[in-house]
Amino acid sequence: MNVLWLQSAGCGGCTMSLLCAEDPGLFDLFENAGLKLLWHPSISLDTGTPVRDLLAAIEAGDQALDILCIEGSIVLGPNGTGLFHRLSGTGRSMLDWVRSLAPRARHVVAVGTCAAYGGVTSAGENPADAVGVQYDGARKGGALEAGFTSASGLPVINVAGCPTHPDWVTETLMLLAADALGADSLDGFGRPRFYADHLVHHGCPKNEFYEYKASAEHLSEIGCMMEHLGCVGTQAVGDCNVRSWNGQGSCTRAGYPCINCTAPEFEEPGHGFTETPKFAGIPVGLPTDMPKAWFMALASLSKAATPDRIGRNATADRTLVPPTLRKPRS
């Protein structure tokens, strides 16, 4: 299967993340999965006329296109023309190219949250009118119409994340190459369920502190960041703490709160990313699927039962009190 990759309005961070794929590396993975990269603006050597000829051949139906990957949001401005962002050397807007090539692709993959929902490039007043490929924030209908399906019958596959995990991209492409990703493999926002059925909370190294509601009060402290520092890992989808980055990392493992970057409109939380909004001292955002009354009752009991070790370590930047040693029974 062949892959065409277009970079639209964004920082290129998802490509940088993709190049960090390990065991196997990106190019070995493509070869072993039977994936051929027709063109990628940052990786491929071709430029100029050969690229224009390739795009024209795909558009004319002379070159088959199995997977169209789009990174970055699609700019609709000014006035719906998309001319704020032209594909260099073609004189045509990226919006025009996406709308022309997407119906010819067997599968369309939005790589990263900008491509999926608009992301950071659509934040604020959004003067460029940036949207996702098939979504405008949480609403269907972006650069492509809400009911769009590719030649395979699937909607746009949204491999959301900012940046997205390299394995999420490569696993999606391998599943498509194996014809093993169907409509039931996607969640309600078009994200592949192999990672979207997890929460960032799963596998978080701060879970012991979370269980006792032993909270960090400042960044760099090792306690749970939900109560004071804005962490929404209990609500955010992603297997970031199960399938760690570069074999060992994640936001919460590095001491930074999860900001729910796989979700539509994460870029506009209405408060600082490292602040937890509260009402009457109670965090507004609570874990998914848990009634507020139950959570508050559990939190009160947990705080009352917090061991001294956990309570003291929570507001430190390293382990001050080690676990108690217990003598084996004689």
CATH code (residue 104)? 3.40.50.700
Q: What is the pLDDT of residue 288?
A: 67
The reported pLDDT for the residue numbered 294 is 67
Quick one: 112 and 12 in the same domain? yes
In this prediction, residue 255 carries a pLDDT of 94
Pairing of β 278-279 and β 282-283: antiparallel
Omega prior to 307 cis, within 30 of 0: no
Residue that the structure tokens 């993959």 belong to: 109
Same domain, 233 and 303: yes
In a domain, 132, yes or no: yes
Provide the domain count of the chain: 2
Question: In this predicted structure, what is the pLDDT of residue 150?
Answer: 98
With beta carbons less than 8 A apart as the criterion, state whether 245 and 200 touch.
no
Same domain, 71 and 134: yes
Higher pLDDT, 230 or 245: 230
Q: Which of 156, 177, 196 is the C-terminal boundary of a domain?
A: 196
CATH number for the domain spanning 293: value is 4.10.480.10
Q: What is the pLDDT of residues 265-283, one digit of tens each?
A: 999 999 999 999 887 777 7
Res 6 pLDDT > 90: yes
Question: Same domain for 176 and 30?
Answer: yes
Pick the range with the lowest mean pLDDT from 12-26, 80-94, 152-166.
12-26
Amino acid at 16: M
Q: Is residue 326 part of a domain?
A: no
Shared domain check, 136 and 89:
yes
Whether residue 284 has pLDDT greater than 80: no
For residue 325, being part of any structural domain is answered with no
Whether residue 39 is contained in a domain is answered as: yes
Last-in-domain residue among 196, 222, 252 = 196
- Same domain as 295, residue 221: yes
| Domain C-terminal end among 196, 225, 246 | 196
263 & 302 share domain: yes
Confidence (pLDDT) at 278: 83
291: confidence class by pLDDT, cuts 50, 70, 90 = confident
b/e burial code for range 19-46 (CB count within 10 A of at least 16 → b): eebeeeebeebbeebebebbbbbeeeee
Question: Is 144 found in the same domain as 64?
Answer: yes
Q: Considering the chain, what is the average pLDDT of its residues?
A: 93
Is 330 part of any domain? no
pTM (two decimals)? 0.92
The answer to which of 105-119, 176-190, 236-250, 293-307 has the lowest mean pLDDT is: 293-307
Domain extent at residue 95? 2-196
Model confidence pLDDT, tens digit, residues 8-58: 999 999 999 999 988 788 999 999 999 999 999 999 999 999 999 999 999
Residue 323 lies in a domain: no
232 and 177 in a common domain:
no
Is residue 328, in this structure, part of any structural domain at all? no
Burial class (CB in 10 A: 0-12, 13-18, 19+), 68: buried
Which residues lie across from 3 on neighbouring strands?
37, 67
Same domain, 157 and 231: no
**Judgement on whether residues 185 and 265 belong to the same structural domain of the protein:** no
- Please indicate whether residue 109 or residue 287 has the higher confidence score (pLDDT): 109
Rounded CA-CA distance 230/288 in Å is 15
> What type of residue sits at position 279?
F
Q: Both 254 and 107 in a single domain?
A: no
Angle at 203 between CA 201 and CA 209, to 5 degrees: 70
What pLDDT, on a 0 to 100 scale, did the predictor assign at position 23? 79
How far apart are alpha carbons 35 and 1 in whole angstroms?
5
The 3-class secondary structure across 95-159, one letter per residue, is HHHHHHHHHHEEEEEEECHHHHHCHHHHCCCCCCCEECCCEECCEECCCCCCCCCCCCCCCCEEE
Q: 117 in a domain, yes or no?
A: yes
